[in-house]
Amino acid sequence: MIYETYVLPPCEKIPQQAAYSTIKNFTQNYNPTPAAEACKIPMAYISADVPLVNMARDLNRLQELCPQLVVAKTMLAGHFNTIEVADQVNAMLDRFLAVGLGRSKA
């Protein structure tokens, strides 16, 4: 329901050549390391606890580059966790604002 309502309609409006170019350049030419190294502000990483997502990301490397990173995982949700379990995400954001921001001052 979420995919059909919120994701698919805008995607169908994107010209195929633009979508192909974006995906190709993102997967073949994207290097996130310089941006991560330059980031000095407090950062919250909130995601669903999904095995495929856990395998695809390298949070250990991101935490090496950004020691100010705070990681949180929602439970019983998928890609749309901000919609599916908004109460969990909101609580995590509240906690980050209360505690996570203070870590950067220490």
What are the tens digits of pLDDT across the range 37-76? 999 999 999 998 888 777 778 888 999 999 999 999 999 9
pTM for the structure as a whole: 0.69
**Gap between the Cα atoms of 102 and 25, Å rounded:** 37
1-to-4, 7, 41, 87 alpha-carbon distances in Å: 5, 10, 36, 20
What are the tens digits of pLDDT across the range 75-91? 999 888 999 999 999 99
